[in-house]
Amino acid sequence: MLLIVDMDGTIRKPLSGAQYFEHPEDQTLIEGAHQVIQAFQKQGQIVGVTNQGGVAAGHKSLQECIQEQQYTLALVPELEEIFFCPDFRGQKCFRVTRSGVHNHSKTQWSGQFRKPGPGMLKLVMRLYQQKPEECLYVGDRPEDRTAAQRAGVSFYWAKDWIEQSTD
C-alpha cells in the first residue's frame, strides 16, 4: 500500500501562524498527523505531494521551497520523499529526497502536475510501481479530492483520517 499525503493543511502548517511559511523552519506538524503517519508506516510507504504556487507568485524562491521540503523530511522521517509543483500551469514537478532534488518536469504529465491535475499522483504511482487501487491519497482541499478522482486513487479527508486513526 502506498500512502500519498498532501502537505500544507494536512501534515504541516506555519509555526508562526502566518498564512504561508515565512522561512523553511517556520513549520509545525498538525496535531495527530505524525501519529497517524507512524501508525500507517507499518502498512507501506508514504510520500508527500504539494502545490507550491508561492514560488510562482514570488513569495519564496525555488531554493527556499526545496529547503522547506527538506526540513519537513527531517520533521517526518517516515516520509520517503516529497513531490512539489511550483508553477500555476502545472508544468514543473520536483522530487525532494534526503539525498537531493530531482526534476521530473519533462514527463508525459507536464501541464497536469498542479492539483487538481492528476500529474503528481500519476508520477508517484509510476515511480513506486503501484496501481491506483494500491494507493490512498489524503488531503484537505477540494483540489486534492479532484486530483485523486482524476488519478483513480481512493481519497480520504485529512480531518477524518486523523480523527479516525487517533480515536
CA-to-CA distance for 86 and 61, rounded, in angstroms? 9
73, 79 Cβ separation under 8 angstroms: yes
Strand, coil or helix: 153: coil
pLDDT at residue 167 in the model: 58
As a whole number of angstroms, the distance between CA 154 and CA 136 comes to: 5
Which among 45, 7, 57, 22 has a CA at the least distance from the CA of 128?
A: 45
- The pairing of strands 100-103 and 94-97 is antiparallel
Residue 88 confidence (pLDDT): 95
Instruction: Give the whole-angstrom CA distance, residue 126 versus residue 46.
Output: 14
Q: How far apart are CA 145 and CA 125, in angstroms?
A: 16
CA pair distance 146, 141, nearest whole angstrom:
9
Tell me the CA distances in angstroms from 35 to 28, 40, 104, 151, one per residue in order: 14, 9, 30, 27
**N- to C-terminal Cα distance for the chain?**
22
For the chain, 167 residues long, the average pLDDT of each consecutive 10-residue run is: 96 91 93 93 94 91 95 97 97 96 95 98 98 98 98 97 78
pLDDT value of position 166? 61
